[in-house]
Amino acid sequence: MLHSPWAILLLLLVPLLVIMRWKHRGSAAIKFSSVSKFRQCPISWRQRLRPLLFIARLLCVILLIMALARPRKGMKIEHISTEGVAMMIVVDRSGSMGEAMLYEGQKLNRLEVVKRVVADFITGDGKDYKGRIGDMIGLVTYARYADTQCPLVRGNTIITDFLKETHLVTQRTEDGTAIGDGLAVAAARLQKAESQITEDQARLKTGAKKADPDFKIKSKIIILLTDGMNNAGRYDPLEVSKLAAEWGIKIYTIGIGSQVHQQGWFAMMGPSLDERLLSQIAKETGGFYARADNAKQLRQIYKKIDALEKTDVKSIEYVDYAEQFGPWAMAALAVLLFEILAASTVFRKIP
């Protein structure tokens, strides 16, 4: 592709130069009364090759005209700008999450069901979920203590890998349900991520730091799932929810399982859900509380959240051009130097 195609019209000068050369082919540097004696002289190889100088000059003109036309190569580029959701998945892994639950005909424990539903929610399953493409997602798990399994990252396959490695607590000293701590860790992660993105983009404007200018946080949410009541940890869930509301974080709370204690072989199993607390947490931050007594209801809850929290992805296509006039100009310079050197040495005329 040529940036200045009009320059090609200058190629009309080439035949004009040929005509002018043809008209002046018989001009002599020194005039003689008769050249008959000179006609008998043999023609040297220098004389035979001398037209190469004119050919070189024509070639130089052609190359310069092509460089002036500015040939360039275009490359199609897609620019994607995302206004996504910064989302922390907070999952209860206390011992009571080991109770059985049916999932697509299989008898699994609650935690395994949650892991499968959340994985479908994040990556998409082709039916209920399209996948959270473009979002920043992190994972916090908790029992008696809360831990960040994965900080906020863009790339849903990373989260699912960490989900697979999430297991029930095995030590009695680690068991419990620290809802407040789980929320506190998740809220702190979201706030820190937003501050970091804001800081990076501010530095990007000054050229001081490279950042990802194509991602902006549209909303910050926490999806908390539990099957029990807050009975461990340092932080009060309601106090954390108030702080989250100040930070603009919305919390969706999900209660899984039954409120009724179930009789096990040796002990009463399944702590009751504190639905009042979960409802207050969600209400305080503008989210909602929902209860799932089975896998189907759990999938519907995540489907509802998926529909509420949309990600805006804008795709702009443009063509990036790379200038190609350099080789033409360099070739013209090389031919010109050849002509000058040849005319000054091998094909030198005297006078």
**84 falls in which pLDDT band (50, 70, 90)?**
confident
Is residue 106 domain-shared with residue 240, that is, in the same domain?
yes
Assigned domain for 31 exists: no
Assigned domain for 29 exists: no
Is residue 219 domain-shared with residue 344, that is, in the same domain?
no
**268 falls in which pLDDT band (50, 70, 90)?**
very low
Rounded Cα distance, 165 and 92, in Å: 14
**110 falls in which pLDDT band (50, 70, 90)?**
very high
Host domain of residue 120? 78-315
Is residue 67 domain-shared with residue 86, that is, in the same domain?
no
Assigned domain for 299 exists: yes
Helix 51-68 to helix 13-23 angle (10° resolution) is 160
Any residues with CB less than 8 A from the CB of 258 and at least 6 apart, and which?
270, 293
If you average pLDDT over residues 150-155, what whole number do you get? 86
Is residue 295 domain-shared with residue 335, that is, in the same domain?
no
Is residue 161 domain-shared with residue 224, that is, in the same domain?
yes
Model confidence pLDDT, tens digit, residues 65-78: 888 888 877 676 65
Assigned domain for 7 exists: yes
Q: How many CB atoms lie within 10 A of CB 5?
A: 11
The whole-model pTM stands at 0.64
Rounded Cα distance, 8 and 90, in Å: 66
Assigned domain for 329 exists: yes
Is residue 226 domain-shared with residue 142, that is, in the same domain?
yes
Is residue 103 domain-shared with residue 236, that is, in the same domain?
yes
Q: Is pLDDT larger for residue 131 or for residue 6? A: 131
Q: What pLDDT, on a 0 to 100 scale, did the predictor assign at position 167? A: 94
Q: Is the confidence at residue 288, as pLDDT, over 70?
A: yes
Q: Is pLDDT larger for residue 295 or for residue 211? A: 295
CB 325 within 8 A of CB 333: no
Assigned domain for 35 exists: no
Assigned domain for 112 exists: yes
How many separate domains does the chain show? 2
Is residue 6 domain-shared with residue 138, that is, in the same domain?
no
Is residue 46 domain-shared with residue 130, that is, in the same domain?
no
Residue closest to 140 by CA, chosen among 119, 121, 162, 112: 162
Is residue 165 domain-shared with residue 47, that is, in the same domain?
no
Q: Which of 79-93, 174-188, 210-224 has the lowest mean pLDDT?
A: 210-224
Is residue 185 domain-shared with residue 48, that is, in the same domain?
no
Per cent of the chain over pLDDT 70 is 77
Rounded Cα distance, 136 and 147, in Å: 18
CATH number of domain containing 243:
3.40.50.410
Residue 80: CA count within 13 A, CB half-sphere: 7
If you average pLDDT over residues 188-217, what whole number do you get? 70
**Range among 29-43, 52-66, 72-86, 249-263 with highest mean pLDDT value:** 52-66
Assigned domain for 208 exists: yes
Model confidence pLDDT, tens digit, residues 8-51: 777 787 787 777 777 766 555 556 555 565 566 666 666 667 77
Is residue 328 domain-shared with residue 306, that is, in the same domain?
no
If you average pLDDT over residues 208-235, what whole number do you get? 81
Model confidence pLDDT, tens digit, residues 161-171: 999 999 999 89
